[in-house]
Structure 1
């Protein structure tokens, strides 16, 4: 491959295409350019067909695809999911009386209408829906005659003062104030689990449609006297999908920014339109293939189309730059296109393969949505092999570039002097970095910055750092609803559930109930836990009721007959306290929030108790305390996978990238020069996350791979030319200057263009999208600056001929001679 670059730098200017040997070049080049019409027609047809399928791509989210399905805690949840209604994917709707309390007949009638409307919305698990209007919510009390109880809403309720008084008594006896009824008695809550499959369509529940139904049928009850607050994954996913419409606007802004930047660089409208259009075509191909392969566009995958556009723009700009330079020195447009293909096809192919491998290794993280991102991004980058490396040169061989743009490009590539413009002075400044003094300054400054950021990044947290839904802005409707619920209800929606597994009827055994109660006590004493609810909490109350409410019996009796009666009554009073066979009983811990520190404390306390108290099937009282269910339990398991997967991802991403660089350059030293800026980028980016208060989680994890995948492109292009020039005997300074002239301007163009495009995401209504925009803008800029600044500085010490032993048979040093035989761009 080095021969291709070496020849291309001094390729003769062929003004008349008849003087060009069409049989020159590789077989691939001859095949492509001798069949140009077929190539163009085929690409056009593929774009039309995939565009049709792309228009039918559905946007949706999936609760279980956010879980690390291979994690043992999530396996436990999925195994006993049917036994744990409402402890996974559910929504909560709070209906507020703004002008009075809940004992207003008009308010109760509105609540009934909302309850009945929600009951009929497809996707709601009606059998476990809870509200004061549902018979599953019951009251119980201890009387002289024993335990008494019934549905909270009186069967004969008619809005009269008598029935309102009865309802007030039932709510007090049910003990649901703080849970289903607000502490200030001004609102009540409806809690309902969601089904995975829409029973009407028999397809996966469409969260966009479900969220729209909540807005159209439930939120419509909101008025000056009634407030409606909705939280839960189903609503969050719907809001994220709605936010995608705003994200599409930002994507359009990114395309416009790219168009302006590229045009300012080329001053050629036809080639600019071509480059941007083909970049968009690459996105269309990807979206069409996603539809054909059965994928949906998840809100967490919105990064992928932009990445394909940005990476395609990067490689396309390199191709256009080469053609501009060749036409500027008098070469025919057809010949210039072939020269550019010959010069940069293998460079681009190597860079794209590196990108593919870099993103594909994300699939090792056991979270389906991350694996989807890895697969879809790899598919999209594979598409670029056709749209960028082949389609752009072939199309430009027909349309060429404007003569003024070509002459301007040729003039800028002449040897610059300090007085010839800002760019020339910048280039001369970068030349200084090839000398020991300034190379040392650059490396010392970079090293100190990296050390400082390495210290800061030690404080990076795994998981969410804020209350509410960190995916959305703090002022979003969802987070305002969540804040209202948190403020007015003692029990939060952050549930950490321990699954107590026993043999059939095992939940009636005294030792097991005692252990359950001990774990509940430990969790209640753990900071961040509001309270706990389990069968062990209910049994003492019912036992006391069997003995006229005597406080001495407010405990778990050792008498099996008493326990059996209490458990049977508990199952009637709270049917979700255990399953039918009394073998799976949830212990629910209500957490103050789902921040990473809170989850870690609860997880550690539960794991410690489980390790000390789990009894195998051969034990006299076999019991297992299995983690974890509930929204907080699932998030805790996800945090574990992210923390475990990040190290594996680093090793895989950097290992694969280093291996491909080694194959490309055939030099360990050149590979080190290419990799050090990428490693620094990761360290500085993680420190930036600490400073910005961004946790490492599913939404931000891919950013690291993006930085490596895109950043290595710059090194491949710059080093490839530099090493070839050094092989020809040029000094490091001259070689690096030629590399800047050849590809440096495009590296700067692409870095600035991509950073300017993604920084607009900072204003996105979707918070994690804004976070990614800020991080990506930094990484694109730093990768560009790191390549331009650190490559010459590192090259002075690692790739400088003056620093190596000379080969007597050549003017090149031994290390450079090895490079010259293996450099492939």
Structure 2
């Protein structure tokens, strides 16, 4: 069977090299076409791609978002730098901002709330009825008497004072919600920021926060991200040129990366997928894999020439034949680890998984096939492109690897590996699902957005919202005293959590109306004693209001009502604590009139995403490891091989996850696909080292000599790739997006640990444990070689 597979592989290699003009022509033609298509890929964030639609929280959010609020709320705060906000110029700016927001694309006109809107009202009692009038609409007070009257009305209204006017009276809040199906962040961001800029100055400071603004900043920094990406590629090319000292060792790996990128992005466009700006780091990671495979082939090509290959064509054949198996195994392992992300029920993850898998699979063509095909055209080398020889320094490192593996130091290496694994696995268990720090982890903590978010959360109840919906069994269920008392009790219970700055529900409105009706006597600040009385109080409030004013509290039938909570941060721990407390209260306080449904708003959406990731994280990692084990077991016909290759994978991932836990990098939508791909990333180098050992054993060397030869052969390719890629990705630390910088460091850690594992740990394990799939198959490998002759001696066709 193995002889037959070897014969087929040999025929495939012969065909590719002998018909190289056709192979290259077809490749470049398809690449040019796909590159043309790839230029039309849209780079944007689609909010609906972030939602796990099958989750019950999302279903509640989708059902009630237009009435009770969605997850695209933008908060704009105007701060008075000198006096309080109660001056005509300052109040005019509030009105200016409120009016301008009505013209922003996708804005929900019924969800624009501020002092200058019709939503915030003053409730007064008269001899005839309850009057409910807007606090400051349609006109701004022009005299001191009018301003003093407005100020007193604000101080007497608990739904406004502290919620839309800060306690120190120096800041005012304007909020606007956007229809999610019409929320185009690329349009919202510049329009809102233009409104904010127009209000700045004359002693007024303006702060802006919200998901549309956050992702608007991401798009704002996209040109910088692309510049860093291109600069990183440029540094990578320069490092390859310095170390490889040849144009073939520089340009062919770059061509492999560009080719795979063109095919993948072209496929994305043909499938109608957009490219989220935050997944550009994944693009670089996969491009790095293409470059890595190509570097291995070029290194093996140079080795064949040094060993006496008569022509570059023969050297290209030999290098392709020997490295096709480990190269394809690495590609399949990477693709298998990436495709398991599709099981996460989030549309963005589906897109990332599909495109990532396609991207990885294209490496089989762009690197494993095209690199040796193009190498076959290279002139027989007579020298180097420059005189700087860094190879001797690489040889010193490889000599250290050899000494470590072939002496008793290998036992120390394995002991240290076990110790590092134990410590890193323990610390990695601290990694958080969801955001680990206040503010957005996408941007640096000292960014303008995070500074604004921190200030808004300090001055007001909180910029992020979560609402639980009481769903009655019949109309008018909300009017029941038991329901209103339950809602008020839920608000008091949740207020004990420090991350929740405030809450709002119909249970706040009815007591206010009842108190006003009873000459503002605070003894009557409670719901009515019967459903009929509460109905009358609600009617009195509605009769003096505008259409839609009651919609943010309850529906028109008084059957469903929201209890909205304002959060000062959306860290994973804060959300999990809040959801656990909500569920505990609901379970402990059942109602005959209906039940509570969880949960809507941005925090509700994030709670759903975190729960999906928490459940899918373990599943994805376990399946990725299973894919890896199966690939190794099938390729080497040994389950031992699967377990053997898990060592560098688990070690690189536990160390990387430990770093994430240490630096407060949570597992979220952006980091999950990087983590899944990192599982495959940790094993590619090991494949080349082990296959190099097996090849040398087949040539008749003993195990020690074969290990030494493999380290000096395949190990050089590992060294070149690891040094160039690790050095290059560190440049991502200069990004204005903290996420890009963090992922650059994570990639550097993965690459470095994977290289160390392949160069130090794997040889030590081979020599200590002498696994059967390596040692006892040497004779079979020798029999599989063509005519029992070493591969490099195959004559050119």
TM (norm. structure 1) is 0.88
Residue number in structure 2 paired with 1:263: 241
- CA shift for structure 1 position 316: 0.9
Q: How far, CA to CA, are the matches of 2:121 and 2:784 in structure 1?
A: 78
Structure 1 residues 487 and 512, CA, compared in 2 at 3 Å: closer, same or farther?
A: closer
Q: How does 1:130-169 map to 2 (within 5 A)?
A: 130-142=113-125, 147-155=130-138, 157=140, 159-169=142-152
- CA shift for structure 1 position 129: 1.0
Equivalent of residue 348 in structure 2, options 351, 356, 369: 369
- CA shift for structure 1 position 588: 1.2
Q: How far, CA to CA, are the matches of 1:814 and 1:96 in structure 2?
A: 76
Q: For 1:246-272, what per-residue CA distance to the aligned partner results, in whole angstroms no more than 9, with x for missing partners? A: 221221122122212221232112441
Could you tell me which runs of 5 or more consecutive residues in structure 1 were left unpaired when the two chains were aligned.
8-23, 199-204, 413-419, 616-620, 805-811
Q: How does 1:55-454 map to 2 (within 5 A)?
A: 55-85=39-69, 87-142=70-125, 147-155=130-138, 157=140, 159-175=142-158, 176-198=160-182, 205-328=183-306, 329-400=308-379, 402-405=381-384, 421-435=392-406, 437-454=408-425
Whether the 8 Å contact between 2:38 and 2:266 is mirrored in structure 1 is: yes
TM (norm. structure 2) is 0.91
- CA shift for structure 1 position 193: 0.6
Q: How far, CA to CA, are the matches of 1:149 and 1:473 in structure 2?
A: 44
Residue number in structure 2 paired with 1:464: 435
Are positions 1:694 and 2:665 aligned together? yes
Are positions 1:511 and 2:482 aligned together? yes
Whether the 8 Å contact between 2:491 and 2:503 is mirrored in structure 1 is: yes
Q: For 1:639-682, what per-residue CA distance to the aligned partner results, in whole angstroms no more than 9, with x for missing partners? A: 22222111101210101011101111112333322111111112
- CA shift for structure 1 position 718: 1.1
- CA shift for structure 1 position 821: 8.4
- CA shift for structure 1 position 535: 1.4
Are positions 1:584 and 2:557 aligned together? no
TM-align CA RMSD = 3.0
Q: Which moved more, 1:735-744 or 1:431-440?
A: 431-440
Whether the 8 Å contact between 2:491 and 2:563 is mirrored in structure 1 is: yes
Residue 69 of structure 1 aligns to a residue in which SS?
coil
Residue 503 of structure 2 aligns to a residue in which SS?
strand
Residue 125 of structure 1 aligns to a residue in which SS?
strand
Are positions 1:492 and 2:462 aligned together? yes
Structure 1 residues 694 and 477, CA, compared in 2 at 3 Å: closer, same or farther?
A: same
Could you tell me which runs of 5 or more consecutive residues in structure 2 were left unpaired when the two chains were aligned.
792-797
Whether the 8 Å contact between 1:141 and 1:173 is mirrored in structure 2 is: no
Whether the 8 Å contact between 1:143 and 1:548 is mirrored in structure 2 is: no
Q: How far, CA to CA, are the matches of 1:334 and 1:423 in structure 2?
A: 27
Q: How does 1:588-607 map to 2 (within 5 A)?
A: 588-607=564-583
Whether the 8 Å contact between 1:278 and 1:388 is mirrored in structure 2 is: yes
- CA shift for structure 1 position 41: 2.7
Q: Which moved more, 1:631-640 or 1:474-483?
A: 631-640
Q: How far, CA to CA, are the matches of 2:471 and 2:9 in structure 1?
A: 70
Q: How far, CA to CA, are the matches of 1:394 and 1:817 in structure 2?
A: 30
Structure 1 residues 823 and 791, CA, compared in 2 at 3 Å: closer, same or farther?
A: farther
Structure 1 residues 384 and 156, CA, compared in 2 at 3 Å: closer, same or farther?
A: closer
Whether the 8 Å contact between 1:282 and 1:383 is mirrored in structure 2 is: yes
Q: How does 1:505-654 map to 2 (within 5 A)?
A: 505-570=476-541, 572=545, 574-614=550-590, 621-654=592-625
Q: How far, CA to CA, are the matches of 2:457 and 2:411 in structure 1?
A: 55
Structure 1 residues 556 and 177, CA, compared in 2 at 3 Å: closer, same or farther?
A: closer
Q: Which moved more, 1:132-141 or 1:142-151?
A: 142-151
Structure 1 residues 660 and 469, CA, compared in 2 at 3 Å: closer, same or farther?
A: same
Q: Which moved more, 1:330-339 or 1:738-747?
A: 330-339
Structure 1 residues 284 and 604, CA, compared in 2 at 3 Å: closer, same or farther?
A: same
Whether the 8 Å contact between 1:666 and 1:819 is mirrored in structure 2 is: no
Q: How far, CA to CA, are the matches of 2:540 and 2:280 in structure 1?
A: 50
Structure 1 residues 25 and 379, CA, compared in 2 at 3 Å: closer, same or farther?
A: closer
Structure 1 residues 475 and 224, CA, compared in 2 at 3 Å: closer, same or farther?
A: farther
Residue number in structure 2 paired with 1:706: 677
Q: For 1:584-610, what per-residue CA distance to the aligned partner results, in whole angstroms no more than 9, with x for missing partners? A: 211112233222332222111111122
Q: How far, CA to CA, are the matches of 1:756 and 1:224 in structure 2?
A: 48
Residue 301 of structure 1 aligns to a residue in which SS?
helix
Aligned pairs, number: 779
Structure 1 residues 709 and 110, CA, compared in 2 at 3 Å: closer, same or farther?
A: same
- CA shift for structure 1 position 322: 2.2
Q: How far, CA to CA, are the matches of 1:105 and 1:543 in structure 2?
A: 33
Q: How far, CA to CA, are the matches of 2:785 and 2:687 in structure 1?
A: 10
Are positions 1:38 and 2:38 aligned together? no
- CA shift for structure 1 position 819: 7.9
Residue number in structure 2 paired with 1:50: 34
Q: How far, CA to CA, are the matches of 1:249 and 1:236 in structure 2?
A: 21
Q: How far, CA to CA, are the matches of 2:408 and 2:58 in structure 1?
A: 56
Q: Which moved more, 1:331-340 or 1:288-297?
A: 331-340
Whether the 8 Å contact between 1:534 and 1:587 is mirrored in structure 2 is: yes
Are positions 1:734 and 2:705 aligned together? yes
Q: How far, CA to CA, are the matches of 2:761 and 2:406 in structure 1?
A: 12
- CA shift for structure 1 position 574: 4.2
Whether the 8 Å contact between 1:5 and 1:724 is mirrored in structure 2 is: no
Whether the 8 Å contact between 1:665 and 1:823 is mirrored in structure 2 is: no
Equivalent of residue 473 in structure 1, options 444, 451, 470: 444
- CA shift for structure 1 position 518: 2.2
Residue 128 of structure 1 aligns to a residue in which SS?
strand
- CA shift for structure 1 position 445: 0.8
Whether the 8 Å contact between 1:355 and 1:381 is mirrored in structure 2 is: yes
- CA shift for structure 1 position 698: 2.2
Residue number in structure 2 paired with 1:771: 742
Structure 1 residues 758 and 584, CA, compared in 2 at 3 Å: closer, same or farther?
A: farther
